[in-house]
Amino acid sequence: YRGEIAEITGNPAPGDVLDVVDARGRFVGRGYWNPASQIAIRILSRDEGEAIDRDFFYRCLKTALAYRAVVVEEDTDACRLVNAEADFLPGLIVDRYGEYLVVQSLTLGIEKYKETVVDLLVELLSPAGIYERNDAGVRELEGLPLTKGVVYGACPPEVGFVEYGLSFWADIVNGQKTGFFLDQRENRRAVARYARGRRVLDCFCYAGGFAVHAAAAGAAEVVAVDISADALRWAARHAAANGVDGRCRFVEANAFDYLRSLVKAGESFDMVILDPPSFTKAKEAVPGAIRGYKEINLRALKLLKPGGYLATCSCSYHVAEDLFLAVVAAAARDARRELRLVEVRRQARDHPMLLAAPETYYLKCAIFQVF
């Protein structure tokens, strides 16, 4: 971090690669520098003999791909291939959707290697097209412009892919993130196994990922809610493509209000899924986020029949797992319900985490049985 750097020697330009040494001059690591960012240097290598060149990127990408070959199942052709720091390529995101790749270079330092990375991805994976989603707001913190477009081959705006044998499309041009919430992939399957025969409510459903997996796993009925009409159009299309539209109903509403109206109407469900957007991007906003989590979890618990399941998620890094579980426990006390903790899950393994960098562990997904 900027505050930890005593001195910059020489005359590096923003984005240049430089060496970090400790107070005694011993080599710590080699990384790229951006004085405009709080994270002034992002480490690429801890090996003093390793040059940051095309071969370096080739080795990192090979390693990242080899890991996905281990953790991503064969009935799935969409996943994250490169997850920035956790793949030792800070600032770089590469997502695969079938034959296509979507890349993000979120820092100035990695932006300089964008062409090299695109070249290597073509060499290693022969994709039909590569799309750049560099319209993510974090680029502004790095002094980079917001932009998107095709950087290799040709890309349709809607890219079909398969997740555990089910068909989806990613809206790679206008969808959230790179088009789909790939980080929830393993959780969608994990949650779906509790849905068989049940009446399911999926709140904050986006393109219907949890809803369609639950219905395909045998849910009797799925009601799915999102505030975005665009997202719901995709959700309906996904349900139809997988032959489960007869058991899915999609509702455009604010989930907070909708949950309240369901409770008021005396509705009940055997399973509720809560996957809201991050309620806070900053430490200062944690109290407000906690109120939000408590409210939706409390209302979900009021809707659940005894023996039903609650799958509740948080992607707020600043609300750590122990705090999140404590908030759900507080909601359970208020709702006078007993919760049995069935599973605590994280982001899918193709979004790896570094033990020494807690920032890389942001997604929590807790599954409870409710009594």
Site membership for ligand SAH, residue 181 (CB under 6 A): yes
Q: Which window, 10-18, 215-223, 226-234, 316-324, contacts ligand SAH (CB under 6 A)?
A: 226-234
Site membership for ligand SAH, residue 236 (CB under 6 A): no
Site membership for ligand SAH, residue 300 (CB under 6 A): no
Q: Which helix (H) or strand (E) holds 169?
A: strand 166-171
Q: What is the DSSP string of 32-88?
A: EE-TTSSS-EEEEES-TT---SHHHHHHHHHHHHHHHHHHS-TT--EEEEEEGGGGT
Contact 129, 149 (CB under 8 A): no
Q: What is the largest CA-CA distance in the chain?
A: 69
- Cα–Cα distance between 303 and 300 in angstroms, integer? 5
- Minimum Å gap between C-beta 140 and ligand SAH is 22
Judged by CB, which is closer to ligand SAH: 130, or 313?
Answer: 313
- Cα–Cα distance between 39 and 85 in angstroms, integer? 12
Site membership for ligand SAH, residue 207 (CB under 6 A): yes
The one-letter code for the residue type at 285 is A
Q: Which window, 69-77, 105-113, 250-258, 294-302, contacts ligand SAH (CB under 6 A)?
A: 250-258
Contact 44, 90 (CB under 8 A): yes
The one-letter code for the residue type at 277 is P
307 three-state secondary structure: strand
- Minimum Å gap between C-beta 346 and ligand SAH is 14
Build a one-symbol-per-residue string for 133-152: x at contacts with ligand SAH by CB under 6 A, - elsewhere. --------------------
315 is catalytic: yes
206 token code pair:
């986006």
Site membership for ligand SAH, residue 254 (CB under 6 A): yes
Site membership for ligand SAH, residue 288 (CB under 6 A): no
Site membership for ligand SAH, residue 256 (CB under 6 A): yes
| DSSP type of residue 140 | H
Judged by CB, which is closer to ligand SAH: 204, or 293?
Answer: 204
Site membership for ligand SAH, residue 366 (CB under 6 A): no
195 token code pair:
């849905």
- Binding-site member from 97, 204, 269, 361 for ligand SAH (CB under 6 A): 204
The residues annotated as belonging to the active site are: 315
Residues that bind ligand SAH (CB under 6 A): 181, 184, 188, 204-207, 209-210, 225-228, 231, 254-256, 275-277
